[in-house]
Amino acid sequence: NGAGYQSSGETLQLSPEAARVAAHRMRKRYRQILREEIAHTTATPEEVDDEIRHLFTALRRS
């Protein structure tokens, strides 16, 4: 949200817009790394999405 980017930007000495862009890039990179790590644990590429869904379901329950 806007207030969060304002606060984060102040902490990081960034404008709110730069904080928003940095957060977007960080989330994108996190998704990429997560997919790569899960891919190392699955037998086929098709299983990656199933494993990610299972992980998110487990995290929602906790």
Owning domain of residue 44: 2-61
pLDDT given for residue 42 in this prediction: 95
For the four alpha carbons of 6, 26, 46 and 39, in that order, the dihedral sign comes to negative
Domains in the chain, number: 1
Instruction: Tell me the mean pLDDT per 10 residues along the chain, length 62.
Output: 89 94 97 97 93 95 86
Q: What is the pLDDT of residue 45?
A: 87
19 exposed, middle or buried (CB, 10 Å; 0-12, 13-18, 19+)? buried
Torsion sign across C-alpha atoms 21, 24, 28, 29: positive
